[in-house]
Structure 1
């Protein structure tokens, strides 16, 4: 990133795996402390998503938005494994424990955004309901991107046909050796893009990006 000379100097510094791990942990702890210090004196909004990773473990991911130096700042708050069942109680306990250990008041949290799952939005015992017990003035919203993904499942036959055709073509190219030939063709034509984006139902946010990349390449042909 800073040049070959700097890279050569870095390679000459003898660092053990333990030293590198310790420095990474120190950097991580410092970034976390700076973020928590900002949140203690600011109003904040939290976005939550619980999903299962490739190993089958449930992971709770939290993002935070807050005002900082005259603009809205967005940062990664935490990612923590849910050891038991991904119930509303366990999800809320993870968030509550993070807020308590970080000395961040629930009164500072003015909004919470979720994917609309029952564990998140249950009227009596969902995560949102438990959070509003700590701060009744909190606003709850449903993730806009997730709502778009849900709406796309009920597309009109004409639009669904376009999406299905594009996804079929893209996935056929990406799954075959001709992906390299396709990239070479795009570079020779000056398309600006030399690859297509793979679509997967699990990666539901990829649907729109697949279409955008497809038409960017098509416009250059």
Structure 2
């Protein structure tokens, strides 16, 4: 940190002292800077809550504000209170306490951004409805990436094809058995497919769907041959279901269709997640 100073280069301290310097000296100064910005000009609030089930649930509160020093709009950490019972009333009270303790006027809050959960964005009984009682001029900004994901999911379900079930079943089949992975590797070599890991589809990871679909298409011939020759292919269950779908030209057509149709929303989502 201090290559130009022989004295400073000799500075060292342990984790206890470093922690206290951060919490007792640096953090209050940074906190004071954010509070003054929010007290003296309009700003937007951005909030989200953790989903942990085993520990305290934390309610993250960020401020989107213009920094007069740099003349740039920046995101600043305001506070992170614990809110284990995530009702609209409790979340709003946590938010209201944070602002009132810091003497920040609700009239300075010009915008609110969060996910689109009903507890946050419901019309009559939500965090937003309560904020609007304090600040009627509030601009309610939904998460556009979340809206795109919801629209994409509705579009896929309208196809009436179990695309998501197929992706999840393929991953689950190989994830629990190293033996199955080894056997599948032989089919990959036999069909001259590229050796790639089967990816896990997770609905809450918004950009995973297109990646998983392309990966399955890349391994389609190997997966088709593997499932068709599996010892359980005649028995009712996941293997038989997968074999039927993987040998179906209709299913293959939908996978090919989605590999192209999902590109625009995926690119849109990536763009709106970027800092710039």
Normalised by the size of structure 1, how large is the TM-score?
0.67
The alpha-carbon deviation at position 199 of structure 1 amounts to 5.0
2:113 equivalent in structure 1 = 113
The alpha-carbon deviation at position 132 of structure 1 amounts to 1.0
The alpha-carbon deviation at position 87 of structure 1 amounts to 1.0
2:256 equivalent in structure 1 = none
1:76-105 per-position Cα deviation (integer Å, ceiling 9, x unaligned)? 33222214x211111011111111111211
2:19 equivalent in structure 1 = 21
Greater share of strand residues, 1 or 2? 1
CA distance in 1, matches of 2:31, 2:213: 39
Unaligned regions of 5+ residues in structure 1, if any?
Answer: 179-194, 216-221
The alpha-carbon deviation at position 51 of structure 1 amounts to 3.2
Residues 40, 196 of structure 1: CA spacing in aligned structure 2 closer, same or farther, 3 A cutoff?
A: farther
Matched, 1:155 2:150: no
1:58 equivalent in structure 2 = 57
2:202 equivalent in structure 1 = 200
1:147-206 per-position Cα deviation (integer Å, ceiling 9, x unaligned)? 122222223349985x8888888899999999xxxxxxxxxxxxxxxx9986533xx2x3
Contact preservation (8 Å) 2:114, 2:142: yes
Contact preservation (8 Å) 2:49, 2:60: yes
SS at match of 1:62: strand
SS at match of 2:81: strand
Matched, 1:82 2:83: yes
Contact preservation (8 Å) 2:167, 2:212: no
Normalised by the size of structure 2, how large is the TM-score?
0.55
The alpha-carbon deviation at position 122 of structure 1 amounts to 3.3
CA distance in 1, matches of 2:19, 2:34: 21
Contact preservation (8 Å) 1:48, 1:113: yes
1:184 equivalent in structure 2 = none
SS at match of 2:125: coil
The alpha-carbon deviation at position 56 of structure 1 amounts to 4.7
1:122 equivalent in structure 2 = 122
Residues 212, 65 of structure 1: CA spacing in aligned structure 2 closer, same or farther, 3 A cutoff?
A: farther
Residues 16, 67 of structure 1: CA spacing in aligned structure 2 closer, same or farther, 3 A cutoff?
A: closer
Across the aligned residues of Structure 1 and Structure 2, the Cα RMSD in angstroms comes to: 4.0
SS at match of 1:58: coil
SS at match of 1:27: helix
1:182 equivalent in structure 2 = none
SS at match of 1:38: helix
2:72 equivalent in structure 1 = 71
Contact preservation (8 Å) 1:198, 1:210: no
SS at match of 1:207: coil
Number of aligned residues: 195
Contact preservation (8 Å) 1:50, 1:61: yes
